[in-house]
Amino acid sequence: MLSTFFLTMEALADLLQPTFMSMIVDRGIRNASVRQILFYGVCMLFIALAGAGCAVMRNGFASRVSQIVGKELRRDMYHNVQLLSMENIDRLRPASIITRITNDVAQIQEFVNGIMRIMVKAPIICVGAIILILVQTPGQAPVIAGILLVVSVLIFGNMRVGYPRFGKVQERLDRLNGVTREFLSSVRVVKAFNAEDGEMEKFDGVSWELARANTSALRTMAVFSPFISLTVNFGVVLLLWISKSAQSAEIGRLMASVNYMTQVLFAVGMISNTLNTAVRAAASSARISEVLCEKPAQRMPAQPLMPEICGDIRFERVSFSYAGAGKEALHDINVHIHPGETVGIIGSTGSGKTTFVNLVPRFYDATKGKLLIDGCDVTQIDTKCLRTAVAVVPQKALLFSGTIKENLRWGREEADDEELCRAAEVACADEFIIKSAQGYDTLLGQGGVNLSGGQKQRLSLARALVRNPKILILDDGTSALDAQTESDVLKGLGGMGGKMTVLLVSQRISTVMRTDRILCLDRGRVQGYGTHDELMDSCTVYREIYDSQIGGGYHGGA
């Protein structure tokens, strides 16, 4: 409101200038009165200074408000994304979400700034100038009406043609960000396979698509803007032609009318340019609204349960399929895991191992059947309560910039140094931490780039153990460890005395053989569930995995 007030004062100052100029001509020069010339000249000077002061204030408020709008939009979008389920994020796509939070919000910021600096001023200037033209030269009303009609049609056509084109620009920007993000996240693989040329071609392709979309959108402005300027300039010529017989007493008024027509031209140009920004902002606004209005795919109960979780997990005829997938990732799973039990999960690639464990912390909801945690339907349990009791160690260890100690405290912020050391010891991470120059205060690069794969996995496990979880999920979380280190880690977990239920996903049969029971999956179906000996006797798929990795036959009782 303050910005609009100062902007209005600035516009009025601009509108007063031609009127005072006409007074200098018609009263001062015509009457050869130096006093009147000086008086009206000083008035024009003070009006110009007042307008400049208002412009400074308007710019300050407009910049501040546009930045606040951008900050709040980004905050609200980021907050809503955190509430969304994995299914929502998969559908919106991470690269697109990043574009919306950055580039699309920047478009809105630019538009808001333009509204308070130009869009409000332009109509005031335009309407005020037209009124003053009619006051100065009443006979020009038909000319003004014709000009406004043609300009309105051109502006409407500009918006109608431009809107879908600017929407496509943002979509192409999504694709560019997606390709860039994919390359940066897999840069080592690209370099290892000498695939830089292929990635460059891919990037060039999407970059050209963005350039073509931008060119198509900007051509709209290139076509319509000159016609708008031509129309108003034609009005100036027509105004002068009609006024060619003006008496000398009306020269000042005619000059004022020409100046006002110039202001109309300037105002219409500002409106046209701002509407082009508005078209782009409208396309961005629709994309931002999609994120802000996205409802979590997971249903939240009105009165969520907050049970004391002990680690009893029961799958009752659970099936699951990803959104848009043609087949089920899991089918009719019936499994009961007792508290404190360590269960190994094995199967070929694509058998549903990760999907199985992702249902436990409720990253996804089962499409059929029920998943019960300590007798409670997981969809009825408070999400924070559930995930506080569950810790996950993914195959790809995800660490954050900061010290080792700060990364470990992601598990539990209030954990003291003794608890951190104990968790690191169980995870066999203490040996390389102690050898580091700064120990637990050693700084890690983004993603733990200065650590090996095995070191990152051990830190991820230590971070999970700091949480003191009731359910620990190791999703191939020891795949980067050598056999001896993995054996030591599993012994450390076993030495915790059944304090937590452990779900151990692994591709190595030597790893799952040490667990209490083993779940064998194949194509989303349970092929066997029991001890190693039981599965060797009853499960063909498990026996095939054993023979392929260990071989030498099996004679029972191993």
Q: Write the single-letter amino acid at 283.
A: A
Contact in structure between 195 and 116 (CB atoms under 8 Å): no
Q: How far apart are CA 546 and CA 254, in angstroms?
A: 98
Q: Write the single-letter amino acid at 113.
A: N
Cβ density class 340-379: b for 16+ within 10 Å, e for less:
bbbbbbbbeeebbbbbbbbbbbbbbbbeebebbbbebebb
Average pLDDT over residues 533-543: 92
Q: What is the pLDDT of residues 137-187, one digit of tens each?
A: 676 677 777 777 887 787 777 777 776 777 788 778 778 877 887 787 677
pLDDT of residue 557: 46
Q: What is the pLDDT of residues 102-121, one digit of tens each?
A: 888 988 888 888 776 666 77
pLDDT of residue 72: 94
65-79, 141-155, 514-528: least confident range: 141-155
Contact in structure between 375 and 305 (CB atoms under 8 Å): no
Distances (CA, A) of 259 to 15, 126, 142, 203, 262: 10, 12, 18, 51, 5
Cβ density class 232-245: b for 16+ within 10 Å, e for less:
beebbebbeeebee
pLDDT of residue 555: 47
Burial of 79: CB neighbours in 10 Å, binned 0-12, 13-18, 19+ = exposed
pLDDT of residue 526: 93
Q: How does residue 20 score in pLDDT terms, banded at 50, 70 and 90?
A: confident
Instruction: Give the Cα-Cα-Cα angle 458, 330, 529 (nearest 5 degrees).
Output: 70
Domain 2-292 has CATH 3.90.1640.30: no
Contact in structure between 501 and 340 (CB atoms under 8 Å): yes
| DSSP summary character for residue 295 | P
Strand order in the sheet with 390-393: 390-393, 471-475, 501-505, 342-347, 517-522, 525-530
Beta strands in 351-476 (DSSP E): 368-373, 376-377, 390-393, 402-403, 443-444, 471-475
Nearest partner of 229 among 259, 281, 268, judged by Cα: 268
pLDDT of residue 224: 74
Cβ density class 434-450: b for 16+ within 10 Å, e for less:
eeeeeebebebeeebee
pLDDT of residue 248: 47
pLDDT of residue 527: 94
Q: How does residue 359 score in pLDDT terms, banded at 50, 70 and 90?
A: very high
Q: How far apart are the first and last CA of the chain?
A: 81
Q: How does residue 356 score in pLDDT terms, banded at 50, 70 and 90?
A: very high
Chain centre distance of CA 212: 24
Structure tokens at 430: 């203490």
Chain centre distance of CA 367: 27
pLDDT of residue 78: 92
Nearest partner of 372 among 382, 364, 384, 380, judged by Cα: 380
Dump the DSSP string for 81-150. HHHS-HHHHHHH-HHHHHHIIIIIHHHHHHHHHHIIIIITHHHHHHHHHHHHHHHH-GGGHHHHHHHHHH
Q: How far apart are CA 509 and CA 228, in angstroms?
A: 75
Chain centre distance of CA 202: 23
Residue written as token pair 């308007």? 58
Pairing of strands 402-403, 443-444: antiparallel
Q: How far apart are CA 457 and CA 399, in angstroms?
A: 9
pLDDT of residue 558: 41
Nearest partner of 546 among 507, 502, 516, judged by Cα: 507
Q: How does residue 345 score in pLDDT terms, banded at 50, 70 and 90?
A: very high
**What are the domain boundaries of the chain?**
2-292
Distances (CA, A) of 188 to 29, 192, 193, 481: 79, 6, 9, 20
